[in-house]
A = this chain, B = another copy of it.
Amino acid sequence: MVQKVYLSNYELKEALSEYLGRIKHSFLNKELLNTEEALGRVTSEAVYSKISSPFYNCSAMDGIAVQSLKTIGASEKRPITLEEGKDYLVVDTGDPIPREYDCVIMVEDTVKIDGDKVKIYKSAAPWQHIRPLGEDIVENQLIVPSGHMIRPVDIGAMLAGGVNTVEVYKKPLIGVIPTGTELVDPGSNLKIGDIIDFNSRVFSAQVTQYGGIPKRYGIVKDNYDILKSILKKAVSECDIVIINAGSSAGREDYTSDVISDLGEVYIHGVSIKPGKPVVLGEVENKPVLGIPGYPVSAYFIMDKILKVIIEGYQGKKTEKVQRLEATLSRRVMSSLKYLEFVRMKLGYVGNKFIATPLSRGAGSTMSLVRADGILEIPQNVEGIEAGSKVQISLMKNIDEIKNTIVCIGSHDPILDILSDLIHVKNPDYYLSSAHTGSMGGIMALKNGETHIAPIHLLDMESGKYNIFYINKYLKGKNIALIKVVNRIQGLMVQKGNPLCLKEISDIYKKGVRFVNRQRGAGTRLLLDYYLKKLNISPKDINGYEREEFTHLSVAAAVASGDVDCGLGVYSAAEIMGLDFIPVCNEEYDFAVPEEYLEMETIKELIDIMKSNIFLKELDRLGGYDYSSIGRVITHNDKKLTFAKKVDKDVHLKAIDRV
């Protein structure tokens, strides 16, 4: 294995300025456009009017054009009568005023006498209600300066000023070349080893957003010569070319070599994370970039480098990203070697913004979908402590963040459904959930980081749910419980239950591969409760250490055949087409500080939980008893929370379906 080395480890700023210096000779090409087609384009020279507007004296009102001299002395008592043709001309707004008239009287100020006569009761001043030539625009007047981005109102003023064509900077055509033998187009029949080429589609959309025109080429296999010939073609057809990926140091990463072969690589490697293995080069005087393959790395390279290039190419100014100050909910570590971009979730809880880091995996497209903003941790900083004030660059609208119910805690598939329904019912409202497990939810409440915490926490001693933990960990806070569902937990096993598992103790059987939930998850506590009761040591369970973060991902691991079983809810098994062995019922509730019960968003959430449309969804998923749904138990009622036994019918119904 030959390991390639990066040519460089530039800082981002330095790399960008070095690279822009090398390639900017290819920027700012001009073209002449019809003015009406120039929306959003940048003027390459100052635009001066060619004619005045109006280019003749015209009426500013509907009425009659007269000579002001003939109106002198008119009054309520002594009106003056004027005759059409002799004394006046009927004019509408915009009509030209012939030389012989010097003012206009509004139709409202005239009284018709007969066919061609009117009376007026007030004299008219010279130039009254006349728009003189050049009132709006005078010939040779500056309309917009060079370097101005053309808006609809500019198009109006230019056309009014006789400017029918305008010289602007060209938009760049960006060639996008996806490479990789493993890549397949979306919609292909997938087989193990295939990777769907979504990157090139994301790039095309980003290029469009930045103001360029994307041109996507077909997938190029990992073959040096083919890549070389396609790059040659793309460079001849486009203004800028990006190659994805092969910019790293794997066996088949040809991007850097091919660019060197046809032109020059200036920079290979920038000290940012994600995004390090970028290639910045030039072929035949056109910028050519190698973009890393991991979608999150690619995203940041596009956003931090290609955006600047595309905007610079056409003379656009980069708009400042909106930032917001937030309090960091947990410590974020960082490498001293890199400028790091950390995807953050923002919550507006208790009148302040709380920022929580999302997954930092470079392969997590969903973390970009979920992110509200980005935290930049400078190079040479080891990390930032919890509680620090940090600046977050926003990826979403502030109002959207302010109207979002933050929901941190235990995962259940119904959270996705609630998140959709609340937004459908009120397009201004959102629910965003982070899956940290029930104990994570309790801690988030304690730290004031969440509005609601979905929890299902079994007290090992009493066998009771939720209240014990609230009393223990959230003492002194007025926490209410919104009842949600009693749900069936059980073993998810492959279709047909090939290992014939029957009860929770069967996971101890030889050869059975289990998948666990993460520490702090209610389901993990439930497992531990049973192991303790059955006197089984965790280290005797094959797979106790393998942790997943949601019911669905446990179900997916079982479905894939990697493991034989996992503990989770019925609905997740149902969604993934698994068999299900019920183990017990448990109370899944939302813990919420009582003050937040007054929030409009939380009121709406409770309404939706009780709505028929939501209950139907619960029936469809199966395994839920919702007889208490939406009931709010405040701090003072807490004795009520020792809930009744689960409805046996629901339990049986679920088992029937298995």
Contacts and interface: CB of A to CB of B under 8 A. Distances in A.
Interface stretch (A260-268, A363-371, A442-450, A464-472): A363-371
Contacts of A152: 202-203, 205-206, 209
A634 B293 CA distance: 61
A257 to B, nearest CB: 16
Interface in A204-237: 204-206, 208-209
A196 B94 CA distance: 11
Given A192-B96, A427-B317, A155 B107 contact: no
A379 interface: no
A557 interface: yes
A73 interface: no
A319 B397 contact: yes
A133 interface: yes
B62 A251 contact: yes
A293 B206 contact: no
B251 A142 contact: no
Contact of A423 (B95, B145, B252, B430): B145
Given A142-B416, A154-B369, A156-B201, 13 more contacts: A46-B416, A53-B196, A54-B363, A60-B363, A94-B182, A134-B552, A135-B364, A141-B366, A143-B366, A145-B430, A146-B424, A152-B202, A153-B369
Given A127-B546, A369-B144, A139 B576 contact: yes
Give the residue among A148, A157, A430 with the most B Cβ atoms within 10 A. Answer: A157
Contact of A552 (B55, B95, B110, B141): B141
A48 B56 CA distance: 62
A487 to B, nearest CB: 17
Contacts of A545: 126
B369 A126 contact: no
Contact of A293 (B94, B147, B417): B94
A100 to B, nearest CB: 13
Contact of A560 (B57, B156, B208): B57
A511 interface: no
Given A138-B552, A193-B95, A39 B208 contact: yes
Nearest to A47: B420
A357 to B, nearest CB: 17
Given A137-B365, A205-B155, A369-B154, A93 B557 contact: no
Given A139-B556, A153-B365, A363-B135, A126 B92 contact: no
Given A137-B366, A190-B51, A552-B141, A156 B95 contact: no
Contact of A556 (B52, B107, B295): B52
28 contacts: A39-B205, A39-B208, A46-B420, A52-B560, A62-B248, A90-B251, A96-B192, A132-B562, A134-B560, A135-B364, A136-B363, A136-B365, A136-B366, A137-B366, A139-B559, A140-B413, A142-B420, A143-B366, A143-B369, A145-B420, A145-B423, A146-B424, A148-B423, A153-B299, A153-B365, A159-B186, A159-B201, A160-B198
Contacts of A560: 52, 56-57, 133-134
A419 interface: yes
A402 to B, nearest CB: 11
Interface in A275-292: none
Contacts of A95: 182, 193
Summarize A's interface: helix, strand, loop or mixed.
loop
Interface of A: 1, 3, 35-36, 39, 46, 48, 51-57, 60, 62, 90, 92-96, 107-108, 110, 112, 126-127, 131-148, 151-157, 159-160, 162, 164, 180, 182, 186-187, 190, 192-193, 195-196, 198-199, 201-206, 208-209, 248-252, 293-295, 299, 315, 317, 319-320, 361, 363-366, 368-369, 397, 399, 413, 416-417, 419-420, 423-424, 427-428, 430, 545-546, 550, 552-553, 555-557, 559-560, 562, 575-576
A555 B139 CA distance: 10
A369 B423 contact: no
A344 to B, nearest CB: 14
B133 A190 contact: no
A619 B54 CA distance: 30
